[in-house]
């Protein structure tokens, strides 16, 4: 490794601690592939513009190919003295091919280089996260399909409200993820913007061709202002906002899985391979995966707040502050990928205890609304009055420990003389869910239709 590139202006060398403190190679080496990709495209463009010779380009390309192989073989020792991934690679290149290596940086600054690297990196990661999101959606769909008519209690305030189908509940999760996919696809458009050519902040005096660079790197847009180009980190904030929303959704799924697998609910069994035991209590089977994912939502929210605060009040254009963008972004990517992988593996393997969910739906007077609707529809009662009548019947059920469907016709007629035998059709759980038969309703045939639409979408 050669001496620090900027040393000519200085009369003393950098303080050893400051050197370490200001370096980013400890974490930005993660972007080595994108840094090389960006450099190759830049060198090709410079050659096309007559700034580098064909020989120089081929030396640069050959050198970078060698460096890439060395990095991937684990043979490169990163140097704190070279501060970051950009200078590390440039210094390796110069070591290999001499003076031509130094020409690579013509018409470019680390300011537009780093922004380009992050965009390329994030685009690559988005292209891995999208299929993983869809894999989780597939897993949810397969569970929804298996349990499309399984009856469970639906809750509001975590109190039994009305019966729903398990498939319908799963399709609610599916909808949340559908919005996450849309958000990520939309975010990708703004990530996929070429900012190279902004140079340090004002552009460059060389006759560069940004269209060429954009084409070579697969960028769909070209930034229109060099000051904005080097200092914009909106795309990282947007990605992290997508991630925070996704993690919020996963934390909601997690919470339900934790509750449902408890001895008090017993709605589901999580496969053993996604759980762990206790070191002291031999009976324990803890739902670690959903708990951990629920917990990890916190760090992603934190990263979103870090990035927003990082950018707050920053004057144009590049400031060293921006070096702090990488660790929150990288950890967000890692957390999202890990959480999605765990969930995509686990969800289709969930076992639903159908008798338990059925019994639970029966216990909480979940068809009380159906009885009230029956009195309105079949007996011409005003809803407010039927609400009152059913309230009395429920109070009786609480006292005598029986569900509405278990009461005799005489008992029910004691609350409203008009009630007839056909009331039992609406008091059953099956009747209750089947009656909510419209787009977005919980009826099993609506769930089936929703699953079919979702399959066609994926
Ligand atoms: N390591 C720096 C970063 O991550 C690269 C850009 C440095 N530019 C500069 N003018 N110091 O932001």
Q: Please state the ipTM of this predicted complex.
A: 0.97
- Helix 326-346 / helix 288-311 crossing angle, nearest 10 deg: 160
Residue 54 has pLDDT above 80, yes or no: yes
Query: Whole-angstrom Cα distance, residue 47 to residue 436?
Result: 67
CB 128, CB 200: distance < 8 Å:
no
- Both tokens of 373, joined, read 């609707």
In this prediction, residue 15 has a pLDDT band, given cuts at 50, 70 and 90, of very high
C-beta 322 within 6 A of ligand 1: yes
Among 141-145, 190-194, 423-427, the minimum mean pLDDT is found in: 423-427
Q: Is 266 left (phi over 0), alpha (psi -120 to 50) or beta?
A: left
**Average of per-residue pLDDT across 390-403:** 94
N-terminal to C-terminal alpha carbon distance within the chain? 50
Query: Whole-angstrom Cα distance, residue 254 to residue 268?
Result: 13
Q: What per-residue confidence (pLDDT) applies to 1?
A: 44
Residue nearest to atom 4 of ligand 1 (CA): 323
C-beta 150 within 6 A of ligand 1: no
**Average of per-residue pLDDT across 46-74:** 98
Q: What per-residue confidence (pLDDT) applies to 140?
A: 98
What's the 190 CA to ligand 1 centre distance in angstroms? Answer: 21
C-beta 108 within 6 A of ligand 1: no
Q: In percent, how much of the chain has pLDDT > 90?
A: 92
Q: Partners of 194 in the beta sheet?
A: 222
C-beta 233 within 6 A of ligand 1: no
In this prediction, residue 363 has a pLDDT band, given cuts at 50, 70 and 90, of confident
CB 149, CB 450: distance < 8 Å:
no
What's the 84 CA to ligand 1 centre distance in angstroms? Answer: 8
Domain boundaries, the chain: 7-106, 111-358, 365-457
pTM for this predicted structure = 0.94
**Average of per-residue pLDDT across 270-284:** 86
Query: Whole-angstrom Cα distance, residue 245 to residue 238?
Result: 11
By annotation, the residues acting in catalysis are 157, 278
Residue nearest to atom 12 of ligand 1 (CA): 323
**Average of per-residue pLDDT across 12-24:** 94
Domain 111-358 sits in CATH 3.30.450.20:
no
What's the 401 CA to ligand 1 centre distance in angstroms? Answer: 70
- Helix 326-346 / helix 234-260 crossing angle, nearest 10 deg: 30
Among 323, 328, 330, name the best residue to mutate to test ligand 1's pocket (greatest count of ligand atoms within 8 A of Cβ).
Answer: 323
Q: Domain spanning 7-106 has what CATH number?
A: 1.10.275.10
What's the 208 CA to ligand 1 centre distance in angstroms? Answer: 22
CB 226, CB 199: distance < 8 Å:
yes
What's the 5 CA to ligand 1 centre distance in angstroms? Answer: 13
Q: How far is CA 227 from CA 149, 201, 220, in A?
A: 57, 5, 20
C-beta 82 within 6 A of ligand 1: no
Residue 108 has pLDDT above 60, yes or no: yes
Among the four given CATH numbers 1.20.1290.10, 1.10.40.30, 3.20.20.70, 1.10.1740.10, the one describing domain 365-457: 1.10.40.30
Q: Which long-range contacts (CB under 8 A, 24 or more apart) does 300-304 make?
A: 300/240, 300/243, 300/244, 300/247, 300/332, 300/335, 300/336, 301/244, 301/247, 302/328, 303/240, 303/243, 303/244, 303/328, 303/329, 303/331, 303/332, 304/237, 304/240, 304/241, 304/243, 304/244, 304/332
CB 300, CB 328: distance < 8 Å:
no
- Both tokens of 38, joined, read 């960006």
Q: What per-residue confidence (pLDDT) applies to 3?
A: 56
C-beta 323 within 6 A of ligand 1: yes
Q: What per-residue confidence (pLDDT) applies to 5?
A: 54
* Summary mean pLDDT of the chain: 96
C-beta 165 within 6 A of ligand 1: no
- Residue-wise pLDDT tens digits, 225-242: 999 999 999 999 999 999
Query: Whole-angstrom Cα distance, residue 30 to residue 280?
Result: 41
- Residue-wise pLDDT tens digits, 288-322: 999 999 999 999 999 999 999 999 999 999 999 99
In this prediction, residue 6 has a pLDDT band, given cuts at 50, 70 and 90, of low
């Amino acid at each position: 490794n050669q001496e620090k590139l900027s040393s000519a202006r200085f009369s003393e060398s950098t303080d050893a601690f400051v050197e370490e403190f200001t370096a980013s190679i400890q974490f930005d080496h993660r972007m080595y592939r994108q840094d090389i990709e960006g450099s190759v495209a830049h060198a090709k463009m410079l050659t096309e513009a007559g700034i580098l010779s064909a020989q120089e380009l081929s030396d640069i390309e050959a050198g970078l190919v060698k460096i890439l192989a060395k990095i991937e073989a684990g043979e490169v020792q990163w140097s704190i003295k070279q501060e970051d991934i950009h200078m590390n690679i440039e210094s390796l290149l110069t070591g290999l091919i001499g003076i031509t290596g130094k020409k690579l940086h013509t018409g470019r600054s680390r300011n537009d280089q780093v922004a380009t690297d992050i965009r390329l990196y994030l685009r690559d990661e988005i292209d891995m996260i999208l299929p993983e999101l869809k894999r989780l959606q597939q897993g949810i769909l397969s569970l929804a399909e298996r349990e499309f008519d399984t009856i469970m209690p639906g809750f509001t305030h975590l109190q039994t409200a009305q019966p729903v189908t398990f498939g319908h509940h799963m399709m609610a999760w599916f909808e949340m993820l559908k919005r996450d996919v849309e958000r990520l696809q939309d975010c990708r458009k703004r990530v996929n913007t070429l900012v190279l050519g902004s140079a340090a902040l004002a552009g460059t005096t060389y006759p560069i061709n940004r269209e060429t660079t954009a084409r070579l790197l697969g960028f769909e847009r070209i930034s229109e202002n060099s000051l904005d180009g080097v200092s914009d980190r909106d795309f990282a904030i947007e990605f992290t906002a997508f991630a925070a929303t996704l993690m919020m959704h996963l934390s909601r799924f997690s919470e339900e899985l934790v509750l449902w697998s408890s001895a008090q609910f017993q709605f589901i069994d999580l496969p053993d391979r996604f759980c762990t035991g206790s070191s002291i209590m031999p009976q324990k089977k803890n739902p670690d995966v959903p708990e951990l994912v629920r917990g990890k939502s916190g760090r992603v929210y934190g990263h979103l707040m870090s990035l927003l605060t990082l950018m707050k009040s920053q004057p144009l254009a590049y400031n060293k502050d921006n070096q702090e963008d990488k660790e929150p972004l990288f950890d967000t990517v890692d957390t999202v990928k890990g959480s999605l992988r765990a969930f995509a593996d686990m969800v289709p393997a969930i076992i639903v205890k159908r008798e338990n969910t059925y019994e639970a739906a029966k216990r909480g007077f979940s068809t009380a609304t159906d009885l009230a609707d029956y009195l309105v529809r079949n007996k011409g009662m005003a809803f407010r009055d039927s609400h009152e009548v059913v309230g009395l019947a429920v109070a009786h059920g609480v006292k005598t420990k029986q569900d509405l469907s278990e009461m005799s016709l005489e008992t029910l007629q004691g609350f409203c003389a008009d009630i007839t035998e056909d009331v039992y059709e609406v008091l059953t759980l099956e009747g209750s869910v089947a009656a909510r038969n419209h787009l977005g309703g919980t009826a099993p045939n609506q769930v089936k239709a929703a699953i079919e639409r979702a399959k066609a979408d994926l």
